[in-house]
């Protein structure tokens, strides 16, 4: 099929390559055009504008920073025009945005005669490259069935969650766990090191317990070496997602704590200059290096 990909950053670029390898014809657009050269060399067609892209494809995958970016790009495509270039086209929103934002975008697309699906993912760059993302879909069942084969190019595990907004909510619950588990692990690791306990013994006990999560091992080396460059998921994006979770929890009548305390911790990491680093940099906040005397 003719598929567009808008947003070719850490996740969007390997997803576009995955679609190319599956035999799809792929058009790409990014507000930073320099990021498109490797995809162009791989066979993707570069679009100068979002409008030019939508005119050549059947569906567009969005993997951009936030809901406001999606809305702006849809406006650039002519979502409000009559007739709209989005008529009979599918918009597949795969980033992490607020449930209410996703529902509003769905209404915009529907009014333009298009089809909207939210399909946020779990997984990072390796899973995107290998087509092994976990995909949570929120859409009308007919739309999900229509576009399920395309999503299967990107993920080995698909879950149809329900109507638009439900998958966005589920994704926020997962990213809240990313932040909270990482913060908790960082604090325990910090105390282990401060007490002079062998980290190998700490990890051996942890791995044999019901408390263990694989993410702990994934972040252990970064925390021990305090090397946070080349992120799979930048701290600034986790800050955005923790904020979205807190807002969604409040809207549902839930207490925002402890997620709010973790959000504040992530905010401190961003303010300390770790916004573009891997979110394992939370370790530098809960276990700061001793100040030189």
* Residues 146-186 pLDDT 10s: 999 999 999 999 999 999 999 999 999 999 999 999 999 99
Residue 122 clears pLDDT 90, i.e. is over it: yes
Angle at 193 between CA 187 and CA 199, to 5 degrees: 100
Q: How many domains does the chain have?
A: 2
Question: 97 and 180 share a domain?
Answer: no
Residue 30: CA count within 13 A, CB half-sphere: 23
Domain annotation covers residue 291: no
Q: How confident is the model at residue 292 (pLDDT cuts 50, 70, 90)?
A: confident
Examine the domain organization and report whether 41 and 182 are in the same domain.
no
Q: Tell me, yes or no, whether 149 and 228 share the same domain.
A: no
Which domain-ending residue is among 163, 185, 208?
A: 163
| The last residue of a domain, from among 117, 132, 163 | 163
Radius of gyration of the chain (CA): 20
Do β-strands 121-122 and 25-29 pair in parallel, antiparallel, or remain unpaired? unpaired
- Whether 21 and 40 map to the same domain: the answer is yes
Short-list 270, 210, 198, 199, CA closest to 238: 270
Q: What pLDDT is stored for residue 291 in this prediction?
A: 78
Residues 140 and 204 in one domain: no
Residues 34 and 148 in one domain: yes
Span 56-92, pLDDT tens digits? 999 999 999 999 999 999 999 999 999 999 999 999 9
Please report whether residue 293 resides in a domain: no
Instruction: Say if residue 145 is in the same domain as residue 21.
Output: yes
**Alpha-carbon span 85 to 55, nearest angstrom:** 7
Query: In this structure, are strands 25-29 and 59-62 parallel, antiparallel, or unpaired?
Result: unpaired
Q: What mean pLDDT is predicted for residues 4-29?
A: 97
In a domain, 192, yes or no: yes
Mean pLDDT of the chain, nearest integer: 97
* Catalytic-role residue among 171, 219, 236, 240: 171
Looking at residues 202-219, what average pLDDT do you find? 98
Tell me the average pLDDT across 268-288.
98
133 in the same domain as 7:
yes
Residue 49 resides in a domain:
yes
pLDDT of residue 290: 82
Q: Does the residue 274 lie in any domain?
A: yes
Residues 11 and 128 in one domain: yes
Q: Please name which of 282, 260, 235 lies closest in space to residue 176, comparing C-alpha atoms.
A: 260
Rounded average pLDDT over 216-241: 97
Ordered DSSP codes for the chain: -EEEEE--STTHHHHHHHHHHTT-EEEEE-SSGGGGHHHHHHTPEEPSSHHHHHTT-SEEEE--S-HHHHHHHHHHHTTTSSS-TTTT-EEEE-S---HHHHHHHHHHHHHTT-EEEE--EE--HHHHHHT-EEEEEES-HHHHHHHHHHHHTTEEEEEEEESTTHHHHHHHHHHHHHHHHHHHHHHHHHHHHHTT--HHHHHHHHHTSTT--HHHHHHHHHHHHT---S-SSBHHHHHHHHHHHHHHHHHTT---TTHHHHHHHHHHHIIIIITTSBGGGHHHHHSPPPPP-
Q: What is this structure's pTM?
A: 0.96
Q: Are residues 110 and 224 in the same domain?
A: no
Q: Residue 292: inside a domain, yes or no?
A: no
* Strand pairing category for 90-93 and 59-62: parallel
**What is d(CA 266, CA 285) in angstroms, rounded to the nearest whole number?**
9
In a domain, 234, yes or no: yes
Residue 250: give the domain boundaries: 169-286
pLDDT of residue 37: 95
Question: Do residue 54 and residue 132 come from a single domain?
Answer: yes
Residue 6 lies in a domain: yes
| Catalytic residue check, 89 | no
CATH classification of the domain holding 179: 1.10.1040.10
| Domain stops at, among 130, 146, 163 | 163
Report pLDDT for 293. Answer: 66
Which pLDDT band holds residue 51 (cuts at 50, 70, 90)?
very high
Rounded average pLDDT over 2-8: 98
Residue 17 sits in a domain whose CATH number is 3.40.50.720
- Same-domain pairing of 34 and 95: yes
């Amino acid at each position: 099929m003719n598929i567009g990909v808008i947003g070719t950053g850490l996740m969007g670029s390997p997803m576009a390559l995955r679609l190319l390898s599956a035999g799809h014809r792929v058009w790409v657009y990014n507000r930073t055009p320099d990021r498109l050269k490797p995809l162009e060399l791989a066979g993707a067609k570069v679009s100068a504008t979002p409008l030019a892209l939508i005119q050549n494809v059947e569906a567009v995958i969005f993997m951009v920073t936030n809901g406001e970016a999606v809305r702006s790009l849809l406006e650039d495509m002519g979502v409000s025009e009559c007739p709209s270039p989005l008529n009979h086209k599918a918009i597949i929103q795969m980033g992490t945005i607020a449930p209410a934002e996703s529902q509003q975008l769905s209404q915009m697309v529907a009014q333009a005669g298009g089809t909207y699906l939210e399909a946020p993912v779990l997984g990072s760059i390796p899973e995107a490259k290998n087509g092994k993302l976990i995909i949570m879909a929120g859409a009308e069942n007919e739309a999900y069935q229509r576009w399920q084969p395309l999503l299967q190019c990107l993920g080995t595990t698909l879950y149809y969650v329900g109507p638009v907004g439900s998958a966005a909510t589920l994704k926020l619950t997962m990213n809240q766990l990313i932040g909270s588990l990482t913060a908790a692990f960082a604090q325990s690791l910090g105390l282990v090191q401060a007490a002079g306990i062998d980290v190998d013994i700490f990890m051996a006990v942890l791995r044999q317990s019901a408390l263990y999560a694989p993410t702990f091992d994934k972040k252990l080396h970064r925390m021990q070496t305090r090397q946070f460059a080349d992120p799979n998921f930048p701290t600034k994006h986790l800050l955005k997602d923790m904020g979205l979770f807190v807002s969604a929890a409040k809207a549902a009548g839930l207490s925002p704590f402890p997620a709010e305390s973790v959000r504040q911790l992530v905010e401190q990491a961003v303010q300390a200059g770790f916004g573009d680093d891997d979110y394992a940099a939370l370790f530098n906040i809960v276990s700061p290096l001793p100040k030189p005397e």
